[in-house]
């Protein structure tokens, strides 16, 4: 049964090929490599710090004792790391 997805399939492969060539280069310099490592660790450890509070909310159905500071730091750390990473030089502010 032919449902006519041949062109869509070709389009997907073309998009994948173009996306592979448009990848930004890896971080250069020790400072950016360190920042990439910190961001990687923060991406795993940050959400894990909220698991005990999330478990408490699910099991007790109460939010008393949940630290707003923990949730704020979780969001702020991600925003700070995103702000520290330099943008690629080919992008203008309007392109974001």
Distance from C-alpha of 15 to C-alpha of 91, rounded to nearest angstrom:
20
31 located within any domain = yes
20 located within any domain = no
Widest CA span in the chain: 59
Structural domain tally of the chain?
A: 1
Q: Helices marked H in 1-96 — which ranges?
A: 6-21, 30-49, 51-60, 68-84
Is 47 within 8 Å of 74 (Cβ atoms)?
yes
Distance from C-alpha of 90 to C-alpha of 94, rounded to nearest angstrom:
12
18 located within any domain = no
22 located within any domain = no
**Maximum average pLDDT range among 32-36, 56-60, 88-92:** 56-60
Can you say whether the dihedral through the CA atoms of 22, 28, 31, 37 is positive or negative? positive
User: pLDDT per residue over 16-42, tens digit each?
Assistant: 666 555 555 555 677 777 877 877 887
Identify the domain containing residue 43 by its residue range: 27-87
Which pairs with CB-CB distance under 8 Å and at least 24 residues apart come from 2-11?
A: none
76 located within any domain = yes
User: Considering the entire predicted model, what is its pTM?
Assistant: 0.43
Is 46 within 8 Å of 92 (Cβ atoms)?
no
């Amino acid at each position: 049964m032919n449902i006519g997805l041949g062109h869509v399939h070709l389009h997907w492969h073309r998009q994948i090929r173009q996306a592979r060539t448009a990848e930004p280069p890896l971080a250069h310099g020790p400072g950016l490599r360190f920042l990439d490592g910190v961001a990687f660790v923060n991406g795993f450890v940050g959400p894990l710090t909220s698991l005990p509070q999330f478990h408490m909310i699910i099991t007790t159905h109460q939010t008393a004792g949940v630290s707003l500071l923990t949730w704020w730091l979780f969001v702020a750390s991600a925003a700070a790391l995103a702000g520290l990473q330099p943008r690629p030089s080919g992008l203008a502010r309007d392109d974001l």
